[in-house]
């Protein structure tokens, strides 16, 4: 990442901090913060967009933005259906089509091995998030 891009990102962070905390930074303090944040950004390069975790995160975001899935929608699946559907995508190449009867067939969209694993990972992430919300609300998270 170029220095100018790092400074731009750092300035966005400073502006958001200023808005959030209602603080007006002096020019000198802003320069100190800018220098510090650029140093942090240099230490943590952006993730490789082809990294498995990045692909899964991008797919989960796509599911929420394009398909309209939400936390409240995911919370309706209380019996491990999200994880079950993830398994369907993982095992598709080995065992062929198997799809839970509680889910509409229109959502069965297998692709190649990597794409199927990415979808499975996004579904597992959704199930983990659901279980964590349940635990936060006093449920057992199982």
Torsion of CA 53, 99, 69, 90, to 10 degrees: 0
pTM above 0.85, yes or no: no
C-alpha pair distances (Å), 85 with each of 46, 102, 124: 31, 10, 9
pLDDT tens-digit series, residues 3-32: 888 888 888 888 888 888 888 888 999 899
pLDDT tens-digit series, residues 90-134: 988 777 777 777 888 888 888 999 999 999 999 999 999 999 999
């Amino acid at each position: 990442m170029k220095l100018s891009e790092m400074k731009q990102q750092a300035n966005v962070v400073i502006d958001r901090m200023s808005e959030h905390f209602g603080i007006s930074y002096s020019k000198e303090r802003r320069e100190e913060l800018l220098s510090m944040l650029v140093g942090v950004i240099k230490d943590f390069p952006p993730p490789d967009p082809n990294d498995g975790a990045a692909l899964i995160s991008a797919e989960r975001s796509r599911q929420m933005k394009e398909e309209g899935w939400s936390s409240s929608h995911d919370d309706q699946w209380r019996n491990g259906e999200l994880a079950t559907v993830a398994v369907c995508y993982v095992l598709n190449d080995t065992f062929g089509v198997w799809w839970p009867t509680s889910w509409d067939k229109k959502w069965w969209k297998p692709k190649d091995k990597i794409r199927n694993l990415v979808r499975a990972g996004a579904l597992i992430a959704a199930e983990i998030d659901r279980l964590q919300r349940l635990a936060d609300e006093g449920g057992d998270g199982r």
